[in-house]
Amino acid sequence: MPVKSITTTPYDGQKPGTSGLRKRVKIFQQENYTQNFIQATLDAMPSPGAKESTLVVGGDGRYFSTEAIQIIIRVAAGNGVSKLIIGKNGILSTPAASNLIRKRKANGGILLTASHNPGGPDNDFGIKYNVSNGGPAPESVTNLIYEYTKKCNQYHICDMPEIDLSKIGVQTIDGFTIEIVDSVNDYAQLLKEIFNFEQIKQFFKNNPNFKVLFDGLHGVTGPYAERIFVEELGLSRSSIQNCTPLPDFGGSHPDPNLTYAHSLVERVERENVNFGAASDGDGDRNMIYGKNAFVTPSDSVAVIAAHAEVIPYFQKSGVKGLARSMPTSAAIDLVAKKKGLEIFEVPTGWKFFGNLMDAGRLSICGEESFGTGSDHIREKDGVWAIVAWLNIIAAVNEKRPGVGIKEILLEHYQIYGRNFFSRYDYEEVESECANKMVEHLRHLIGVGKDDFIGKTFGQFTVKEADDFEYCDPIDGSVSKNQGVRIIFTDGSRIVIRLSGTGSQGATIRLYVEKYSQNVSEYESDTQEALKPLIDVALQISKLQEFTGRAKPTVIT
């Protein structure tokens, strides 16, 4: 096929954030905007580069996905890529894409998603590059992509007819191969190898009154949920809802938390559902929620780690080490300590777990932002976490019938104590105000540090404070300024950082954590338990003064 080189002009701001480039659809629709970014991505591909490579392509099916895929096909062909493996109709959940990259030994993948951000012509789109281990590109690669976008004066394409993405099969045009694959098969197969499906099925049979409800929030997980929960695990069709992926997610936020997953929360409460769960737009997040029992994600990963021995995958491979992102509560650290496992604290974003997994030092990890996963792939995995919980409940019930989410949590607190945790998000704050607040905090922990350490606010005395810096133990790369941490003498802490996934203005994230070994507090309401600490966080950060915001947009 003849290659055409098209002259273009670089766009500002094509800098991948925590998880790829995320912008309004209208921005991606600008002339050559998407073409430029794909060209820069292919240019930045780690050695041996784009030429003759194989790439996996797919996403959460949001608005503009199919147009973007046609662009990717043409630009990939123009750059000598030899093969694209594309999910049917462009659909691949983020974990399914990670799995395919690994299974098919592809050189990388291009994932089209803005995760939990709303979709549709006036909302968000995103493009993320994953490397050959199946995980999000490390900063060395994303920085290089950004550098290439800044000097992108030309991109290369092959003019070819639109490719039909709905027909499974292989087609080769002049040595360039496009394979359209079933979006669900390989992923379902993977989960069947990891978990004890027979045990879970048996548990459902023995407990016909144990109600399960999965909510796909009209994101990409619908077809995965149908296959796994209904066809494989034998649940009724009424056990899943909102499982038709829609390009605009039905007009809401496909974000599994108590605010945005209200369609799930309401039915769980009304119908006394024992086990409720939801996933986000691209399928890498999860929320576990039973009647009167919300599992905070920091606890979720700790519980999975504590019970890992009932999961066949970990029976075979052993648990090599545990990890969490810095703002995530230290609940999992306590599990690591008890089990004598290595524990790692990395910056926010799944890309930081990959090296540890590749080096065989990390098996189970999580983020407070409803992200949980393991080294079975290199992305967090919503459906994996949900089935992990079901596997644990099924196994525990063999010995102690009647145990549900709440009992598992309380038992966990009895053994390890409870880490109360909450996050306050202030969305679409004016960037200037947010930056000023961060400057103020950096001053407190920098030049003003001598005054700040030892100072008392309410019942809390500052013990340590810093801006989190991470040195990757495997490749030695250093990531600075990953969030301001203020740790108090009683072990409580607050963390403040700016989001790297927003598409408009700045989002301030305020994280608070308090540890308790007081049994009478284990059933307390999180917000009540954390109120004094939140007040102190607002006082120290002067958040309201800088931003004019009296209340957060979302509390998780």
Q: Are the C-beta atoms of 349 and 332 separated by less than 8 Å?
A: no
**CA separation for the pair 106, 440 (Å, rounded):** 46
Size of the site for ligand VG1 (CB under 6 A): 18
**CA separation for the pair 187, 120 (Å, rounded):** 27
115 near ligand VG1, judged by CB under 6 A: yes
Cα 500 vs. chain centroid, distance in angstroms? 13
Give me the least distance between CB of 182 and Co ion, in Å please. 22
425 near ligand VG1, judged by CB under 6 A: no
User: Is 252 designated active site?
Assistant: no
Tokens of 196: 């004890």
Task: Identify the H or E element spanning 554.
Answer: strand 554-555
Span of 23-31, 85-93, 259-267, 494-502 interacting with ligand VG1 by CB under 6 A: 494-502
349 near ligand VG1, judged by CB under 6 A: yes
Return the residues of window 323-342 that contact ligand VG1 according to CB under 6 A. Answer: 325
Please say which residue, 285 or 514, places its beta carbon nearer to ligand VG1.
Answer: 285
65 near Co ion, judged by CB under 5 A: no
**CA separation for the pair 321, 323 (Å, rounded):** 7
Please say which residue, 53 or 348, places its beta carbon nearer to ligand VG1.
Answer: 348
369 near ligand VG1, judged by CB under 6 A: yes
**Alpha helices, DSSP H, located in 277-321:** 297-306, 312-317
Which partner in ligand VG1, Co ion, none is near 211 (CB below 5 to 8 A by kind)? none
| Token pair 């978990």: residue | 195
Size of the site for Co ion (CB under 5 A): 5
Q: 79-93 burial string, b = 16+ CB within 10 Å, else e? A: bbbbbbbbbbbbbbb
Which partner in Co ion, ligand VG1, none is near 500 (CB below 5 to 8 A by kind)? ligand VG1
Tokens of 25: 């659809």
60 near Co ion, judged by CB under 5 A: no
How many CB atoms are located within 10 Å of the residue 324 CB? 28
**CA separation for the pair 49, 42 (Å, rounded):** 7
509 near ligand VG1, judged by CB under 6 A: yes
Q: From the list 11, 14, 16, 19, which residue makes contact with ligand VG1 (rule: CB under 6 A)?
A: 19
284 near ligand VG1, judged by CB under 6 A: yes
257 near ligand VG1, judged by CB under 6 A: no
Give me the least distance between CB of 547 and ligand VG1, in Å please. 17
The closest of 66, 76, 72 to 165, measured between CA atoms, is 66
H helix count then E strand count, the chain? 19, 27
Question: Which among 53, 93, 115, 503 is annotated as catalytic?
Answer: 115
What does each C-alpha distance from 175 to 54, 55, 81, 101, 389 come to in angstroms?
Answer: 12, 15, 10, 21, 46
DSSP state of 10: P
Q: From the list 124, 226, 282, 513, which residue makes contact with Co ion (rule: CB under 5 A)?
A: 282
255 near Co ion, judged by CB under 5 A: no
Return the residues of window 150-179 that contact ligand VG1 according to CB under 6 A. Answer: none
Enumerate binding residues for Co ion (CB under 5 A): 115, 280, 282, 284-285
Residues that bind ligand VG1 (CB under 6 A): 18-19, 115-116, 280, 284-285, 325, 348-350, 367, 369, 371, 499-501, 509
Which amino acids are annotated catalytic?
A: 115
